[in-house]
A and B are shown apart, each in its own frame.
Chain A
Amino acid sequence: MIIGLEHYFFVSVLLFAIGFFGVLLRKNTLVVFMCLELMLSASILALIAFSRYHTTPGQGLMEGNIFVLFIIAIAACEVAVGLSIIVALWRRNQTVELSEINELKH
């Protein structure tokens, strides 16, 4: 079986959908956060796949790959900030359940 662009694309969409519905439906902040990361990974996968399959022959092949490295670096920073927020939430409220975090309303 030859693996083509459509296979990458299918995996990417699947990942994105899992992430999306996780964000919508799960109630645990940590899981929601993981799902968010999943959506980011899905889009990175799509980016690198498009980059690999649409390269003009004779020119550089690695632009997409370099971009992905940047995105992963920034995502790592983002995860550090996000996790520390979640830790702070836990210290404050002794819970990370989304349904119980509604201080903005009150």
Chain B
Amino acid sequence: MDLGTVLSVILLAPLVAAGLIWILARQRAALAMTLSLGAAATILCLSLWLFFAGWDGSAFEISTEWLTLGSLTLDVGFLLNDLSALMLFIVAFVGFWIHLFSVGYMNDDKARGRFFGGLSIFMFSMLGIVLANNLFMMFIFWELVGFSSYMLIGHYLDTDEAAQASKKAFIVNRVGDFGFLIGIIITYWTFGTVNFNELREVVGTQPQLVTTLMGLLLFCGVLGKSAQMPLHVWLPDAMAGPTPISALIHAATMVAAGVYFLGRSFFLFTEEALHIVAWVGVVTAVSAALWAFAQRDIKKILAYSTLSQLGYMVAGFGLGSLYGLHHGDAHNALYYGIGASMFHLTTHAFFKALLFLGSGSVIHACHHEQDIFKMGGLWKKMPLTTLTFAAGVIAIAGVPFIAAGFFSKDAILYVAMKSSQPAFYLLTGTALLTALYMGRLFFIAFLGKPNSASAEHAHESPWTIVLPLLVLAVFSIGGGYMIMYPVTLQEVMGHWVPHPHGKDHTTMIIISAVASIIGLVLARIIYGAGAATDKVEKTLPPVFAISRSRFYFDEIYGYYVKKVQDRLADVVAFLDTLFISGVLVRGSAAVAGLLGVTARRLHTGSVSTYVWWFFAGLVLFGAYAGGFFDGIIQ
């Protein structure tokens, strides 16, 4: 088999599955499940075959012309290199286990056909982003994941919350994608191509063509898709969707697409653009970590933690690339940004998918109870879920050496220390906060005694739910070690990730260890095991209020939409009523009506009148034949 065929099969398998579900299995849940899971398994098997046998690790590109519009040619094609192979591995691997989890989690859902169809459409769109060899193709699939996300957030379509959240996610993403599209157009206009490899060659010979504006416009797409400040507002609300969706789309893969895109087009970012990218990431990371403390809903806490970790990745890309520009003398210095962000993206995909699936297992067992203060004592009822969730908490907190998050966070903190001291302090603070709020979640929900009847009656979930948890737990713990990855993927993970050496190495380990362990211990001291109320809310109301305010982003947007946008819409609606429906539509109807009324008047039914008209016609005809009108009509 040649690579092009294999990649096409990988891309099209979920589309075929979704099509078959649409035609055959909208009402047949078992068939829909089999088709969707089958597609996910096909993707995983073919990807693993690629990494272990079919692909030698060198960049592979195949492209075909799709559409020609004048001088503009749109291509579709695949570009398989170190970066996209790693992303393909994440999507295929995490995607498969989440599909399996969904089979158990959604077993009592009434619209499983629609759910699994949507899941397959999402896999298709996401793989399109991963494999795309040019910006236009990426943009098409970028919009398709937005659509899938919209469809799956709104899965529980009879609840108002889900309907609102899906609309919000879609609209906020449109804002970002608008900038993204303009960025793509500017890129095409400047370089005459949107192919990643060709772009890179042009940039290599004429680096002066790259402008800061171009990078920032492209970054707008990342703001929307990866939920960076100030377009982060949709992600917490998106938790209204089913939990497997939160795990797959809003934690592991789709929201990481923005970071992946940064890596794909890193050469289009100037130093100024990189500074802004880095600071957007840092601010998002810190703020989202602060907001997580006021949340009671287990999924909301994880959502804010996702925001914070995405901020980490974006900051890692910016700071890592800056570090590469200024300090890097090694061969791979250019790739430090990609290495730092993609390493964290990978480990985050494992442990955040694990945490979300763990929370799904808990929610499933507690009969859809999501408030952590009504849980408590789950470790006795659900030992495996508790154990794997603990692994996830350790991983995200970054406990040294036994957690994947430690290594990846370490790389980001290291480049931060080398390129910007303030960013370094803020990110270290975030690491501490992360350990603190994850400790809060874990200690309150899993330890102590049950705080409600639903937690009392919880029981361990079926194997389809527990098996994905176990597998992901293994990767969350071991994901920091190269041995967990196929050899062909180790270029990014091994050589591109910046590592501290000598004295820096020791310093970094001490800082990370102190931040994570202090965070977890503080959480245990402050919140206690299985607490039924929030201690901070009671004892320190001002601090809690700041966290709960979420810096009033939603309120400001609400105010803006209500006061500015709605009024603008009113004006436009008025103009529409006046000109389009008034003058154009009703006006033309009135003209036709008037003509009709006049013509009807001629139709009297009286023969004598008709003879008069006939006579008038005859006179006119005679006059014309006699040349009377020659002077008037030339």
Contact = CB atoms under 8 A, between A and B. Distances in A.
Contact of B605 (A24, A27, A32, A103): A103
Given A24-B615, A105-B603, 11 more contacts: A25-B608, A98-B607, A98-B608, A99-B606, A99-B608, A101-B607, A102-B604, A102-B605, A105-B605, A105-B606, A106-B605
B611 interface: yes
Contacts, number: 24
B606 A102 contact: yes
B612 interface: yes
23 contacts: A23-B611, A24-B608, A24-B611, A24-B615, A25-B608, A27-B608, A32-B607, A98-B606, A98-B607, A98-B608, A99-B606, A99-B608, A101-B607, A102-B604, A102-B605, A102-B606, A103-B605, A104-B605, A105-B603, A105-B604, A105-B605, A105-B606, A106-B605
A34 to B, nearest CB: 15
Interface residues of B, number: 9
Contacts of A24: 608, 611-612, 615
Measured as residues with beta carbon below 8 angstroms from the partner, the interface class of chain A is 10 to 19
Contacts of A104: 605
Contacts of A25: 608
| Nearest 10 interchain pairs by C-beta | A105-B605, A102-B605, A98-B607, A104-B605, A24-B611, A102-B606, A98-B608, A23-B611, A105-B603, A105-B604
Interface in B184-198: none
Nearest to B605: A105
Interface class of chain B by DSSP: helix
Interface string B585-618: 0000000000000000001111110011001000
Interface in A19-47: 23-25, 27, 32
A103 B605 CA distance: 7
Contacts of B604: 102, 105
Contacts of B612: 24
Interface of B: 603-608, 611-612, 615
A60 B525 CA distance: 138
Nearest to A102: B605
A101 B605 CA distance: 8
A102 B615 CA distance: 20
A103 B603 CA distance: 11
Contacts of B606: 98-99, 102, 105
Interface in A52-106: 98-99, 101-106
Nearest to A100: B606
Nearest to B604: A105
Contacts of A105: 603-606
Contacts of B605: 102-106
Nearest to B606: A102
B606 to A, nearest CB: 6
Nearest to A23: B611
A55 to B, nearest CB: 28
Contacts of A27: 608
A32 B608 CA distance: 10
Contacts of A23: 611
A1 B607 CA distance: 44
A103 B604 CA distance: 10
Nearest to B608: A98
A102 to B, nearest CB: 3
Nearest to B615: A24
B466 to A, nearest CB: 84
A99 B607 CA distance: 8
Contacts of B603: 105
Contacts of A101: 607
A102 B609 CA distance: 11
Nearest to A25: B608
A15 to B, nearest CB: 18
Nearest to A29: B607
B274 to A, nearest CB: 83
A99 to B, nearest CB: 7
Contacts of B611: 23-24
A105 B603 CA distance: 7
Nearest to B612: A24
B608 to A, nearest CB: 6
Contacts of B615: 24
A19 to B, nearest CB: 12
A95 B607 CA distance: 15
A23 to B, nearest CB: 6
A99 B606 CA distance: 6
A23 B614 CA distance: 12
A99 B610 CA distance: 12
A77 B578 CA distance: 64
A76 B372 CA distance: 109
Contacts of A103: 605
A44 B604 CA distance: 33
A102 B605 CA distance: 5
Contacts of B608: 24-25, 27, 98-99
A105 B605 CA distance: 4
B619 to A, nearest CB: 12
A25 B608 CA distance: 7
A39 to B, nearest CB: 12
A24 B605 CA distance: 15
A81 B604 CA distance: 26
